[in-house]
Amino acid sequence: MKGKQVLIAVLLGVVFCSIALGADFPTRPVTIIVPYSAGGATDLIFRAVASVFPKYSNGQPLVVNNIPGAGAVTGVMEFLKAKPDGYTLLSIQAAIITKTHWSEVKFTVDDFVPVINIVHDPSYILVRSDSPYRTLTDLVEAARKNPETITLGNGGAGGGNHLVAVAFEEFVGVKFVHVPFEGGGPAITALVGGHVDAVIGAAPEGVTNVQSGQLRVLGVLGANRLPVFPDVPTAVEQGYDFRLGMWRGVAAPRGTPLEIVKALHDIFYKCINDPEFLAKAKDLGCMISYMDSATYQKFMKDQSQFWENLLKSRRLGEKYGK
C-alpha cells in the first residue's frame, strides 16, 4: 500500500511539474531562426509577430535570428542543434519542406514539431514598372516564343516559390531561367535593380515596391485577389487555372515537451490575434491562416507528400531528377 502511495505521489509530482513548466514559460528570451536574409516575407512577418510577443510571454522578447544560406539549409541545420526546451524555434514554411524533396538534405518533415501556422499567401509574379510585360499572358507568350531567355528570380533554389514557378511553367508549357537568391528580399532588390526580368514571391515581398510604383504584379496565383492588390487579377481570371502559395508558421525541435509546445502555441495565437499585429499584417499584405499544432502537423505532411509526388513524377530537382 505504501509503495502505491509513493508511486501516486511521484506521478502527481510529474503532472504538477509539467503544468508549472508550461505556466512559467518563458523565463528568458525566445529565439526564432529565420533561415533567410532580412527583408524577405518570412523575416517581415516574424518581426511583426516579435513586436507584440512580449505582451503574452511574461515580458520576454522574441529575437529574430537571420541565418541565410544554401536555400534555408544553413539555418535549419543550426536549428536542429538546439535543445528541445522551447527557447530556439524555427520559422517553418513551404520552402523548407520543398527543399527536402529538391535536394539531398539531412532533415525531413518529421524533424519538426509544428506549433502553429500563421499565414498562407498565394504566390505572385512581379516585374519592374517599366517592363514590357503588362499581363501574365504577356510573360507566358514571350517565354513561349523565346524559351529559356526570360529570367525569373526566386528566394532560393528548391524553395517554395521556386517550385511554384517550376509547377507554373510546367502547367503553361514554357521554360524560364530560374535565378535563386538567398531570400525574397534580395530577389526583390535584384528585380528593382534590373538584374532579372521578373520575380516570383509572396506577401509581403515587393508590396512596398509596388505601392511606390517601382514594381508591378502581373498576376496572383490564388483563388482570390489580394486585398493589398485589389486591381491585380488572379491567374484564374487570366485563363490559367493554377493556384499555389506560401504558408509560414512556427516549429519547435523534435523532443520538445508537449506542455512547452502548448505554451508556445497559446502565446503565438494571442500574438496573431493582437490588433497591432493584425494592422501590420494587413499593411504587409499577408493573409492570416491559423492552424493549431495537430492540424498543422497533418497539413505539413500532406504538403510534403504533394511536392514529393510532383517532383518524382516529373523527375525534377537534384534529388529525383537524376
Distance CA 181, CA 152 (A): 11
The C-alpha cell at 44 is 517581415
Can you list the positions of beta strands (E) in 223-320? 245-253, 288-291
Give the angle subtended at the CA of 91 by the CAs of 88 and 93, to the nearest 5°: 145
Q: What is the pTM of this model?
A: 0.84
Under DSSP, is residue 272 helix (H, G, I), strand (E, B) or coil? helix
Under DSSP, is residue 123 helix (H, G, I), strand (E, B) or coil? strand
Distance CA 147, CA 150 (A): 8
Look at residue 18 in the predicted model and tell me its pLDDT: 46
- CB distance 198 to 126 below 8 Å: yes
Phi, psi (deg, nearest 5) at residue 117: -95, 145
Under DSSP, is residue 39 helix (H, G, I), strand (E, B) or coil? coil
Residue indicated by cell numbers 535563386: 180
Domain architecture of the chain: domains with CATH: 26-120+246-320 (3.40.190.150), 121-245 (3.40.190.10)
- Taking only the tens of pLDDT, the chain with its 322 residues reads 555 565 555 555 544 544 455 679 999 999 999 999 898 889 999 999 999 999 999 999 999 999 999 889 999 999 999 999 999 999 999 999 999 999 999 999 999 999 999 999 999 999 999 999 999 999 999 999 999 999 999 988 888 899 999 989 989 999 999 999 988 889 999 999 999 999 999 988 999 999 999 999 999 998 889 999 999 999 999 999 999 999 999 999 999 999 999 999 999 999 999 999 999 999 998 999 999 999 999 999 999 999 999 899 888 888 998 7
Which element (helix H / strand E) includes 251? strand 245-253
318 burial type by CB count under 10 A (0-12 exposed, 13-18 middle, 19+ buried): middle
Look at residue 8 in the predicted model and tell me its pLDDT: 55
Question: How does pLDDT run across 244-268, given as a tens digit for each residue?
Answer: 999 999 999 999 999 999 999 999 9
CA torsion angle 30 17 291 283 (round to 10): -30
* DSSP per-residue codes, 46-57: HHHHHTTGGGGT
Phi, psi (deg, nearest 5) at residue 65: -115, 105
